[in-house]
Amino acid sequence: MEKIPSQILIYKRGKNYYCDAYGCFGGGYSGVFAGKNAEEAALFALREKGRYIDTNKLGGNIIVPQEVREKMQQFKLI
């Protein structure tokens, strides 16, 4: 099976954040709780980046809402 870039998608549903992640061989999950606020979602995205993107030779994409991206930049995570 051919490797593909991984993908992490953080999105807001109601007041909470959730995550969909897809690995290089098609594995992953959808609809997992990622946090109650943007800070928790940013830390969750970093943890998943280590699991899915950093271990994939082709890399991947992180797609997050603006407020989560700002927290990631504040923490110097991206």
Could you list the residue range(s) of the whole structural domain that residue 40 is in?
6-74
Q: Give, for all 78 residues of the chain, the pLDDT tens digit.
A: 677 899 999 999 999 999 999 987 778 899 999 999 999 999 999 999 988 888 888 889 999 999 999 998 887 756
Mapping DSSP to helix (H, G, I), strand (E, B) and coil, where does residue 8 land? strand
Helix (H, G, I), strand (E, B) or coil at 9: strand
**Domain total for the chain?**
1
Nearest C-alpha neighbor of 10 from the set 78, 56, 24, 38? 38
Distance separating alpha carbons of residues 20 and 71, to the nearest angstrom: 19
> Does residue 1 fall inside a structural domain?
no
Which residue, among 19, 7, 21, has the nearest Cα to 58 in the 3D structure? Answer: 7
